[in-house]
Amino acid sequence: MVESASLDHVSGQQVLGAVARQAGIAPGDRDWADFEQRFNRHFPDLARLFHSLYGSRPDFQDQLTSLVLECARAWKDRPANLKVLDSEREANSDWFQSNRMLGGVCYVDRYATDLEGVRARIPYFKELGLTYLHLMPLFLAPEPLSDGGYAVSSYRVVNPRLGTMDQLRDLAAELRANGISLVVDFIFNHTSNEHEWARKAADGDPRYSDYYWIFPDRTMPDAFEQNVREIFPEDHPGSFVPLPDGRWVWATFHTFQWDLNYSNPEVFRAMAGEMLFLANQGIDILRMDAVAFIWKRLGTSCENLPEAHTLLRAFNAVCRLAAPSLLFKSEAIVHPDEVALYIDPAECQLSYNPLQMALIWEAMATRDVSLLAQALERRHSIPSGTSWVNYVRSHDDIGWTFADEDAAELGINGFDHRRFLNSFYVNRFPGSFAHGVPFQDNPRTGDCRISGTTASLCGLEDGTAEAIRRILLAHSIAFSTGGVPLLYLGDEVGQLNDYQYALEDGHEADSRWVHRPQFPAERYAQRNDPSTPEGAIFAGLRRMTAVRASAPELAGTRLIPFAANKRGVLGYQRPGEGTLILALANFSDQPQVISAETLSGFAAEALDVLSDAQVRIDQGFVLGPQDYVWLRVTAAAPGFGSPLS
């Protein structure tokens, strides 16, 4: 074992000097002066993080110098308008916590044909109130199998079917001019098998073989597979796939998605370069794909290892140096304790909230809010300077990621409960309203997840008024618990499952395509007619967006639990200055009375902000089936209700 070289021997000034020479910087260069300032502020962090990953290597200092050189070059290339944005965002660092934030996500091709088509939809995005647009992976990828673009063949080339890098840059600028931040994926756990690095690795080039986890025979793969989970068991068993020359390469997801080897510092440096290239196109937020998987160690599950966090922090430090306004959103669909660990201003400022997502569906099926209420109480609070991204569903399957320990406290057996939820959502449970489809059904482990659009999971096919109410109820939670609400575009007009995927080349084996339909043009055409289901859903969501944007209580993520004292009714409070919003959501099929006593801490008069009506709550409050309210309340006067008052 090599003794780790002490960081004390690494002089920042020496690194900076070497970088200046290699980058050919002329003294007095203005960009360089800016960079030097950032370097002085952030280098110590970066060096410490990089050292904790790679300090034991004899070439540590050279590796660090090349990394800083990559940063310096990227800073030099960073367009002037983005540098202005960098300073604005530094001065207004909580911009993404605003109650005006509303996200939308779509596939470029399915929603708008190409990047030009996305540009043409900007007026609609403004009508909807979007301030954040996540375009699903749009880079060069193998055809027809690319996992929806999650197998990237080049991070610097846009898929020619969708457009060009110039168009992406123009789109980012035009979105920004319209108040919309652009979010794209940084798929950094793996590349496609057609990436130049992968091709060279497959050809036996030793330098690029070290970019991946490639082993000469089954010895190491067998050893690793003792402890790692199968993610796509329908695609291939285990986590390794054979190469034509008899070697084995790590592929956590599909056979054509090869995991990068971050124990090699050159991989970190190369990917930092790709990341900064994207940042310089005007991307505001990177969705950090599959963060749980980026570090591997024999004898562990190879998920959520401490080094995964160090890597993210090191990437984040690279941004502070060379693309300071860029933010990270963590995609960790894992145990809630682990999800929380990625959320930190120095790591990922934003994170999907997969627990809330899953439990919205859980409460909808059981008509019992206990797990969801418990999650709000103990798992909603996150560090200042960070935010949730709250969603009802995404392009992926729904997995039941609640903690078994949490469920056990409520007398629920996690394994059995997941089986119930799976059978409920694929409509094998008597009385179920849902039209979902199983995903990655694994008979060996009993594991299964669910595919389906929001509307289909709520049963809109059956044409019931309840289905519309369920759709709105689910979104009311994502829109008001705190964080950026994220809509899967098309869901705002109630798009249904699309079974055509079974006939689409490359999609037939992946049921997630059932909930990735083409742009639902006819449904959008109905959106302004409130007598249609489309219009009713659209109006409800527009109302929530508008009210949210004018309710300062709904900014940030602070939430105070509220016990509505009814099994089917979720309550929570969002505190503001002097007032607060009390949200109540009825997941049951019957009207529910919230008693006067339960509400006795509040003044008699409240404002129902969604309907803009004054309501009295001192005699209790009745909530219809699948109904929700946001009440602006004030505290009861001191002594209220006491015999002396």
Residue nearest to ligand GLC (CB): 150
* Dist. CA 638–CA 633, nearest whole Å: 15
Whether the Cβ atoms of residue 137 and residue 158 lie closer than 8 Å to each other:
no
* Dist. CA 369–CA 570, nearest whole Å: 6
Closest distance of CB 290 from ligand GLC, Å: 4
Closest distance of CB 402 from ligand GLC, Å: 13
Q: What is the gyration radius of the CA atoms in the chain, in angstroms?
A: 25
Considering the complex, state which of residue 187 and residue 496 has its C-beta at the smaller distance from ligand GLC. Answer: 187
Is 289 a known active-site residue?
yes
* Dist. CA 261–CA 211, nearest whole Å: 5
Considering the complex, state which of residue 146 and residue 325 has its C-beta at the smaller distance from ligand GLC. Answer: 146
According to DSSP, residue 398 is labeled B
* Dist. CA 335–CA 348, nearest whole Å: 17
Considering the complex, state which of residue 189 and residue 626 has its C-beta at the smaller distance from ligand GLC. Answer: 189
Considering the complex, state which of residue 206 and residue 443 has its C-beta at the smaller distance from ligand GLC. Answer: 443
Q: Show the 3-state SS of 425-492.
A: HCCCCCCCCCCCEEEEEECCCCEEEEECCHHHHCCHHHCCHHHHHHHHHHHHHHHHCCCEEEEECCHH
Closest distance of CB 456 from ligand GLC, Å: 18
Whether the Cβ atoms of residue 548 and residue 128 lie closer than 8 Å to each other:
no
* Rounded alpha-carbon distances, angstroms, from residue 346 to 114, 265, 324, 485, 556: 35, 20, 12, 22, 18
Closest distance of CB 111 from ligand GLC, Å: 16
Closest distance of CB 389 from ligand GLC, Å: 13
Taking Cα atoms as reference points, which of 492, 350, 336, 307 lies closest to residue 400?
A: 336
The catalytic position among 147, 185, 259, 289 is 289
List of residues contacting ligand GLC (CB under 6 A): 147-148, 150, 187, 231, 253, 289-290, 331, 333, 396-397, 399, 449
According to DSSP, residue 114 is labeled S
Given the DSSP bridges, would you call strands 605-608 and 613-616 parallel, antiparallel or unpaired? antiparallel
Closest distance of CB 231 from ligand GLC, Å: 6
Core vs surface per residue 199-222: b (16+ CB within 10 A) or e: eebbeeeeebbbbbbbbeeeebbe
* Dist. CA 515–CA 322, nearest whole Å: 38
Closest distance of CB 136 from ligand GLC, Å: 8
Whether the Cβ atoms of residue 4 and residue 56 lie closer than 8 Å to each other:
yes
Is 109 a known active-site residue?
no
* Dist. CA 59–CA 294, nearest whole Å: 22
Considering the complex, state which of residue 289 and residue 406 has its C-beta at the smaller distance from ligand GLC. Answer: 289
Taking Cα atoms as reference points, which of 543, 604, 542, 547 lies closest to residue 574?
A: 547
Q: What share of the chain is helix, strand, coil (3-state, %, to 5)?
A: 40, 20, 40
* Dist. CA 528–CA 513, nearest whole Å: 28
* Dist. CA 355–CA 339, nearest whole Å: 9
Closest distance of CB 510 from ligand GLC, Å: 9
Closest distance of CB 449 from ligand GLC, Å: 6
Considering the complex, state which of residue 396 and residue 498 has its C-beta at the smaller distance from ligand GLC. Answer: 396
Considering the complex, state which of residue 391 and residue 424 has its C-beta at the smaller distance from ligand GLC. Answer: 391
> For residue 540, which phi and psi values (nearest 5 degrees)?
-65, -45
- Tokens for 562, please give them: 């509220």
CB atoms within 10 A of CB 339: 25
Closest distance of CB 233 from ligand GLC, Å: 11
Considering the complex, state which of residue 86 and residue 109 has its C-beta at the smaller distance from ligand GLC. Answer: 109
CA quadruple 285, 286, 292, 295: dihedral sign? negative
Which helix (H) or strand (E) segment is 240 a member of? strand 240-242
Taking Cα atoms as reference points, which of 596, 571, 574 lies closest to residue 584?
A: 571
The catalytic position among 185, 331, 368, 553 is 331
Q: Please list the active-site residues.
A: 289, 331
